[in-house]
Structure 1
Amino acid sequence: MRIALFITCFNDTMFPQTGKAVVKLLERLGHTVRFPQAQTCCGQMHFNTGYRVEALPMVRRFAEVFADYEAIVTPSGSCAGMVREHHTTLAAQYGDARLQSRVRDVALKVCELSEFLVDVLGVTDVGAYFPHRVTYHPTCHSLRMLRVGDRPLRLLRAVKGIDLVELPEADSCCGFGGTFALKNPDVSHAMLADKVRAVQGTGAEVLCAGDNSCLMHIAGGLGRLRTGVGARHLAEILAATEGDVA
């Protein structure tokens, strides 16, 4: 299977270790992962702030760069949702029939990491080892747009050594929402405070999520309060083995 890593511009810029973890994990499972260096932003920031026409060149580029791959894996529910749900909308609204067809074909091959592992590869036990107390936050895009359901939890439950604890009111938004946190800081801060209290209440050592954007937001709140709670992307926990230093 020809697998491509869609790392997303956010991860590439701020959390490259997450992309490396995806590659390490999939290679351990026996797959070769390609990294198309011509990839750029998926256009989510532009789309969400009303610059839809400006996002169209990114939609077109995405379809061109990833056209030849059988599977496109990304460690981001929000960017996977953008490609699968909104690229076709933009192509239909501002593109031509040929572009719509290309975009639709490529979008169907995009998988968020947990979807790819559980649904495409058919695995839940990926040979991971992470001896820590962990709680999981399901991000809004993965929960509501992609509907990944319990796939991440099924993967985490199979990790050796983990003490996985339930996060109260897990389906509540953390308050990030991209530019929402900038445009509505007071509301965002109140939502974050609720999420931080819930995380602290679990006694977890590590907070896990499938989107580094939300994870960064919550980790910032936890860090400012000096809670000592760490943050790890799902890919990083699944890539960890007994030979790694925790």
Structure 2
Amino acid sequence: MIASQPGQSLLLLCGIWLCWHILLPRLAVATGETLYPLPSQPAIQEKIDQAIKTGIDGNDPGDARTARLETAILQQYKVSSIDQLPVNFDAIRLQADEDYTQRVYDKYAAITDSLIRLQNNISHYLVLTDPYLAIRSISMALCGTDYTHQYHFTQAAQHYRNMFIRRLNHAMAYGGEKGKQLYHQMPVFEYQPPATGEVARSQWLPALSLLLWLLLLLSLLKRTARHAAMV
């Protein structure tokens, strides 16, 4: 037996609880942040602003993009000046700027997302050594409070926002419904979370961890019962 006295057993259980519920989870978070540090929000915003101004590759400034768009629209409608266009060029330019800005944001959002997932992988693989982390992972996934659900909702909301802005700019550029009627015809945002089966499949490693810990516990209980019978 590891502990022959009640006091030793209590001390051992407190030590296990401290490691599993406090030290190891915090160590996993700290390790992830150290190995894969996230850039600060001001630093990311500065890069985004610079990319919008000078281009994603640094060689495509906003003025040049606007000039190319103007030339393309004039050629499309076979006119020589913006005043002769049968459409609202300002609205077309707004949508073009919106699309380009979204490309920039998507680029840096993907970088941030990859770092967050690498950080979370530390805790994800530590579930094999800590059943508490396994239970927490499964619980958060089934309740829809984990990072995967957050990212899924953010993507859906971003897609709806882009569609909303695009319809407004399109109506201003090419005519059509306006005012209350335009807003009444906008689709309502309806979020569909990931399917339960998909969520369950993503938690196979925590589930495997709990199964292994259960088998280990049963083995220890069986060994303890055999030892008690001999005594």
TM-score range, shorter chain: under 0.3
Compare CA radii of gyration and give the structure with the larger one.
Answer: 2
Q: Which has the higher strand share?
A: 1
Relative contact order, higher structure (CA 8 A, sep 6+)? 2
When normalised by structure 2's length, the TM-score is 0.26
When normalised by structure 1's length, the TM-score is 0.24
Q: Which has the higher helix share?
A: 2
